[in-house]
Amino acid sequence: MSLHTAHLRAHSDVSRLDTFIALSDFDRPTLVVDLDRVEAQFRALSAGLGRAQIHYAVKANPADEVIDRLVALGSHFDAASRGEIALCLDRGAKPREISFGNTIKRASDIAWAWDRGITLFAADAEEELEKIAEHAPGARVYIRLIVEVSEADWPLTRKFGCDKDTALRLLDYARDLHLDPVGFSFHVGSQTRRAEMWAPALDALAEIWTAAQDAGHGLTVLNIGGGFPAFYGEEIEAPEAYARAVMDLVTARFGDVPHIMAEPGRGMVAEAGTIVAETMLVSRKSDRDIHRWVYIDIGRFSGLAETEGEAIRYQFETARDGDQMGPCILAGPSCDSADVLYEKRPIMLPMTLRAGDRVLIRNTGAYTSTYSSVGFNGFPPLDVICI
């Protein structure tokens, strides 16, 4: 698919959002989420993923209405905490549809989840297995592996998972603890733009899978995690084609695995959301300053944390985009000097932009409301409206 069609696709469904936004006033930064677009993403990902079961990664966007829509569509859920499990149960998900996928769990939360019927847990260390064995005796566990090579724009590889030898030892240890070790999980890295980037991780996993079977473990669950991309200006495949290509890579290596789980977060909700922000100030630091500074009312501490390292490059739109465009350094409103969104690669905004102008930030439905801190520096956290 060409960049052009990717761009068209990303903007083809915005009219419902844009109509709502145009007719509304907002007195603080607001994320508007189109639930129909979430549904379309779910259907496309499901179609491409085939027999894999979707466990939506709740942290990407935990709005009640998003969870409600996904429950209605038959999604399952990957939860990372007691709070996320409680949310899914409250919104009507069944306990057996929820996996406790964080490898770092409080013992009392394991007991709480087990008590409510959650039976599937992730682990990547001995001590975690011991906690699970004590507080969820006999539970199903999968071992999370480190992905060594990742070309993802937002890699998650360092904090979670264990290497091959540790993983094989943990399977044995889980069995010794009378748990039910059912398989492996990994995360290829968030915003993995092309499906073929999954191949090295799947190759490594296939080797470990075979070694585990040779060691006598009858594995049944392969959890391929998240990584499904959203459109941020660089070419990506449409969700159905992307998911199908990933499943082709999986099937070529793991044809007969009974249960495959996939945990899209970003790919499910990012393109369903637009943030409505406001320009607070346009200025230059000196007469010779070639860059304008544009300050908007949302920053790194109120929802746009993924601008860290300028890794995720959001798309900005204003009503003046027909005017001459020029580069600017874009910054948030707070009094923290780290609250600069894009500086190394400046953002193009209209030269006529001025304080009070509305700025739309596209495809921001994922990892914005969850990263919005509770009013850092007195600036209100990101409001969320689902339509």
Query: 17 to each of 79, 124, 360, 365, how far by Cα in Å?
Result: 28, 41, 11, 12
Choose between 67 and 340: whose C-beta lies nearer to ligand PLP: 67
Nearest residue to 186 via CA among 174, 175, 199, 177 = 199
Type of residue at 46:
S
Q: Pick the catalytic residue from 88, 162, 328, 335.
A: 335
Instruction: Tell the smallest beta-carbon distance from residue 193 to ligand PLP (Å).
Output: 11
**Smallest distance from ligand PLP to CB 377, Å:** 27
Four-residue CA torsion sign, 300, 303, 305, 311: negative
Q: Give SS3 for 138.
A: coil
Closer of 192 and 274 to ligand PLP (Cβ): 192
Q: Which is nearer to ligand PLP, 167 or 331 (CB)?
A: 167
Q: How far is the CB of 268 from ligand PLP (least distance, A)?
A: 7
Residue among 222 and 347 whose Cβ is closer to ligand PLP: 222
DSSP, residue by residue, 164-194: HHHHHHHHHHHHHTT-EEEEEE----BS--S
Residue among 49, 44, 93 at smallest CA distance from 67: 93
Backbone angles phi, psi at 93, to 5 degrees: -70, 145
Q: How far is the CB of 314 from ligand PLP (least distance, A)?
A: 15
To the nearest whole angstrom, how small is the minimum distance from the Cβ of residue 189 to ligand PLP?
7
Residues engaged in binding ligand PLP (CB under 6 A): 57, 59-60, 78, 101, 187, 190, 225-228, 263-267
Q: Is 383 helix (H, G, I), strand (E, B) or coil?
A: strand
Q: Judged by CB, which is closer to ligand PLP: 161, or 299?
A: 161
Residue nearest to ligand PLP (CB): 226
Q: Identify the residue whose tokens are 């500086």.
A: 343
Which residue lies nearer to ligand PLP by CB, 54 or 298? 54
69, 93 in Cβ contact below 8 A? no
Smallest gap, in angstroms, from Cβ of residue 352 to ligand PLP? 36
Closer residue to ligand PLP in complex, CB, 265/303: 265
**What is the per-residue DSSP string for 9-28?**
HHHHTHHHHHHHHHT---SS
Task: Calculate helix-pair angle for 199-214, 164-176, nearest 10 degrees.
Answer: 40
Rounded CA Rg of the chain: 22
| Catalytic residue status for 328 | no
Closest CB 266 distance from ligand PLP, rounded Å: 3
CA distance 340 to 343: 7
Instruction: Write the DSSP string, 49-92.
Output: HTTSEEEEEGGG---HHHHHHHHHHT-EEEE-SHHHHHHHHHTT
Please, what is the minimum distance in Å from the beta carbon of residue 231 to ligand PLP?
14
Q: Which is nearer to ligand PLP, 29 or 161 (CB)?
A: 161
Please, are residues 222 and 183 in contact by the beta-carbon 8 Å criterion?
yes
Distance in angstroms (rounded) separating the CA atoms of residues 373 and 127: 31
Helix (H, G, I), strand (E, B) or coil at 4: helix
> Which residues does the annotation mark as catalytic?
335
